[in-house]
Structure 1
């Protein structure tokens, strides 16, 4: 922690937060929800409840770690890489650049980053990048796993050059749906950046 200069203006956190409108970027977890083929289904089973004569209410929860909206940590593809338990909460707070991807089965390229920076200024070290491809509207339908817009390796590399520490998409993966090599995963996670998948409501954010 560093001390500020005596006369430097600092907004009180509560005041600054009071001017913001919260936007939840996660899909709700619910039984029957779409999961990646071969991954375990989400289960939420009531085991005990006071309405049944039990002393308290208690559920059993089961899910795969990549269910719904989630983050991929480096260990996902990098042997010996950091897992999510070693990610400090402060790594999930900060500014986010909202990039707009093209609709359909097309590639999101550095042009999306150039368009953002022309309008809002440069992406800075420590920022996040959120990519809105309009895919969240397909959530929980069979169409959500159809070939989705994917991120080019060139765009991922450009964001790493700017030291972006978290990159999220509203699709199931930043890589193409048929990719086994997963080059964007390997590039970002290999640089200790986090990857967010199946985000939603990015379209409500600007700038």
Structure 2
């Protein structure tokens, strides 16, 4: 069976001088097209080149021809999984809290008076509460003298060994979901499948949550962070918040409103959820993601 191949020339320049060229290279691809950037990255990685300054792809075209080896499938090789919801103007993350306002502070049209033709800029303005979208909670969110975003060490947000706990379709998530798991010093991400209701009325009602006993168990296991793809890690039907109190009191961070947890393996990956370094704030949106490789 015939498949697509890309044919191209390339010219590579190095930061320490010199360069190499290639003509009429042929590469099997999985799909109909491949970008110049993807081709350049492939060449540099495959040839194990160092100190590359510039890669020019020249005379690129496609042919239909039987593949000679396993095709390049860049999408299959992607190792990052986005675990964050998109924040947009008017998004309601938590009923009773104002939605974000996202607008221009300086529009491109307005900026034309300040710059030469073809050099327009946009400067945005965002007004929002810190509990917006996918966010992380630090101890200051719950405790007046707890560490705020600026005081928590970077290594508590980034490059954390992680495990996924499958609590799909459960509402009350107790200690039994965590017993027998390797949890110490890890980010524990609880998959409930509740993210499927994001930005709907169903998201706010009867959502999954952890029990106080589960939080105490996680504290005893000395986990670093606990995340959930639900409206709140606590049961919001009452006025107490035992999970927030237990975890944040032990300086265990909390990430709420995650998504795409169904795309994660049970273990063997890294979790990242880094917020800006604000003083005097205990919660802020993050671009949470997992690194699978």
TM-score tier by shorter-chain length is 0.7 to 0.9
Larger radius of gyration: 2
Matched, 1:87 2:145: no
Equivalenced residues, count: 182
Is 1:167 paired with 2:226?
Answer: yes
Could you report, residue by residue, the CA deviation over 1:72-127 in whole angstroms, capped at 9, with x for unpaired residues? 111111121111121222112211111111415x2111221136x2xxxx222x21
Q: Which residue of 2 aligns with 1:131?
A: 190
**Contact 2:95 2:204 survives alignment (8 Å):** no
- DSSP 3-state at the match of 2:87: coil
CA contact (8 A) 2:92 2:98 kept: no
Of Structure 1 and Structure 2, the greater strand share is in: 2
- Cα deviation digits, residues 176-200 of structure 1 (max 9, x gap): 1212110111011111111111011
1:167 alignment partner, SS class? strand
* Mean Cα deviation higher: 163-172 or 51-60: 51-60
Q: Please show how residues 188-199 of structure 1 align to structure 2 within 5 Å.
A: 188-199=247-258
Verify: 1:112 aligned to 2:172, yes or no: no
Partner residue in 2 for 1:149: 208
Report the 3-state secondary structure (helix = DSSP H, G, I; strand = E; otherwise coil) of the residue aligned with 1:97: strand
CA distance in structure 1 between the aligned counterparts of 2:163 and 2:216, rounded to whole angstroms: 15
Higher helix share: 1
124, 132, 143: which one pairs with 1:59?
A: 124
TM-score by length of 1: 0.82
| Partner residue, 1:23 | 81
Please tell me whether residue 97 in structure 1 is matched to residue 163 in structure 2.
yes
> Is 1:48–1:54's contact at 8 Å kept on the other side of the alignment?
no
Contact kept? 2:168, 2:192, Cα under 8 Å: yes
For residues 48 and 153 of structure 1, do their structure 2 counterparts lie closer, same or farther at Cα, with a shift above 3 Å needed? same
Quickly say closer, same or farther: Cα 1:158–1:183, change in 2 above 3 A. Answer: same
Select the structure with the greater relative contact order (CA < 8 A; seq sep ≥ 6). 1
In structure 2, what is the equivalent of residue 158 of structure 1? 217
Counterpart of 1:12? Answer: none
Selected match of 1:38 from 86, 93, 96: 96
Name stretches of at least 5 consecutive residues in structure 2 with no aligned partner. Answer: 1-76, 115-120, 267-293
Report the secondary structure of 1:32's partner residue: coil
* Cα-Cα RMSD: 1.7
Give CA deviations for 1:154-187 in whole Å, capped at 9, x if unaligned: 2111111111011111112111121211011101
